[in-house]
Structure formats: structure tokens, C-alpha cells
Amino acid sequence: MFLLREDTVMEMNTVNENDLFESTDLSLVSALLCFGAVIEHVDRSAPRANFSIHREKGLNELVRAFFAHELKVDPLVYFNCIREAKTRLYQD
């Protein structure tokens, strides 16, 4: 288990001018996919890939619940979402 300070969370997860949520955290992105989020783009130009997800209503609450260890997901659904995110990450 690890803890992140709030300023670290804000640095990793930002909103750009196109109203996209961005994160380099594979576990967070996978959890968001479990709740219907869709990966719009994966930027592989930096040392860590940056996932872009269209910002929908309730996304901030899901992110808060994730980092507060309050989010509950089905383990098999979560595993499939990790596979989906990795597929997008390693696509050509």
C-alpha cells in the first residue's frame, strides 16, 4: 500500500484545454475504465506514458475515491480493464 500527497495527485492528473483528464497511473486509468471511462489518447513520447480520458460528470469523485481507497470494483472486471489499458499502451 502506498500513500500519495494531494499535491502529487494534482501534478500527475491534470485537465488540459480540451477538457481531458490525464494520468500516468495505469492502476487509476484501469479503475476508471471499470466505470465506463474511455481512453481517448495515449502519449508515449515521455518516459512514462500519459493516458488521456474524456472528462465526464463524476470523474473527479471516482479519482478521489480511488486515492482514498474507497473505490470498489469487481476483480475480474478490473483485470480486464488493465488488459485493455495495456493493449492501448502497446498498440502501434
pLDDT in tens, 29-41: 999 999 999 999 9
Number of domains in the chain: 1
pLDDT less than 70: residues of the chain: 1-18, 92
Identify the pLDDT of residue 16: 43
Identify the pLDDT of residue 30: 97
Residue 1: inside a domain, yes or no? no
Residue 70: inside a domain, yes or no? yes
> Whole domain around residue 69: which residue ranges?
6-90
Residue 67: inside a domain, yes or no? yes
51 - beta bridge partners?
A: 23, 42
Distance CA 39, CA 20 (A): 10
Name the grid cell of 41: 489518447
Residue 39: inside a domain, yes or no? yes
Sheet with 39-43: list strands edge to edge. Answer: 14-15, 20-23, 50-54, 39-43
Identify the pLDDT of residue 19: 86
pLDDT in tens, 78-91: 999 999 999 999 98
